[in-house]
Amino acid sequence: MRDLSQLPNLNLALIQTTLAWHDREANLAHFEGLLEQAHGADLVVLPEMFTTGFSMDAERLAEPEQGPSHKWLKAQARKLEAVVTGSVIVRTVDGSHRNRLLWARPDGQVLHYDKRHLFRMAGEHEHYTPGERQVQFELKGWRIRPLICYDLRFPVWSRDAQDTDLLLYTANWPAARRQHWNRLLPARAIENLCYVAAVNRVGTDGKGFAYSGDSQVLDFQGEVLLGAAEADGVLHVALSAADLAAYRTRFPANLDADTFDIH
C-alpha cells in the first residue's frame, strides 16, 4: 500500500486565456508563448478544445488521432519536461469524432480521455461520440483523474473509486452558468476527499458566448488554494500530498462510501 504522505509536492500551471475561433495555428502560437511562463511545473493544464473553441463543427475541424495538436503537445511536454494536457477535436480510426483530452508526457507517450457527458443543450451529443470509460493517470506517484466540462455535473462519474488524489477538469464553461461552476467544484473536492483543479477560458467565442474564467484549485475541504477570477495568463500552485494524507487519516469518510457499478 502506497504511503501518500511521502510523495513530493505536485506543481501545477493552469493556463486561462482567450481562444481564437476555429484557428488552430493562432491558438497553438498563442499557447506556445504562454508556456514560456510554465517552466517549473510538473503538470500544465490548457482549456477544453484549446485549438478551436467549443465548436460543433466536428467534421471540418477534427484532427487525426496523431494529428498536429498531438505532435505539438508532445513537443511542448518534452521542452518543459512536464505533462501538458488539454482537449481537442479528434477523428478516430473508426470515423467517430471525440472531444478528447490528450495527456502528453515528457517521455513522448500520449494518453487520452474521451469526454463522457456531451452537452446536449449545444447539440454536442449530435456531433461527437461519448467516452466509454474513466481513466486515471499517475504523475510523481500522484493519482490524477481527468474530466471535461459537462462531466462536472455528474457526481457518479466524478466519484472516486480508485483512491484519486486530484480531479482535473478542463472546460469551456460559459459565464451564464458561472455560479454552477463555482458551487459544483467544491462539492466534488469535499465528497471525494481530494484536490480539484479546474481550467476554464475567458473571452467570447465565435457564437457570441462569454466565458468568465474562474479557473481554480481547491483542497480536499473545498477551500480555494488558487482562484483566477477573470485573469488572462498562467497561474501556479503547489499541492501537498502530506496535507492530503493527514486529512484523510483524520476524516476517513471514504471508508463509508457506497459501492456501485457504472454502465
User: CB under 8 Å to 76, separation ≥6 — which residues?
Assistant: 31, 32, 35, 44, 84, 104
User: Within 13 Å and on the Cβ side, how many CA atoms surround 58?
Assistant: 20
Assigned C-alpha cell, 147 = 474530466
Q: Does 115 qualify as catalytic in the annotation?
A: yes
Rg (CA), the chain: 17
Q: What is the DSSP string of 241-258?
A: HHHHHHHHHH--GGGGPP
Q: Does 48 qualify as catalytic in the annotation?
A: yes
Q: Does 79 qualify as catalytic in the annotation?
A: no
Q: How many angstroms separate the CA atoms of 196 and 62, rounded?
A: 29
Catalytic residue among 48, 63, 74, 124: 48
Helix (H) or strand (E) holding 153: none
Catalytic residue among 63, 74, 115, 124: 115
Q: How many angstroms separate the CA atoms of 241 and 246, rounded?
A: 9
Catalytic residue among 63, 74, 124, 149: 149
Catalytic residues: 48, 115, 149
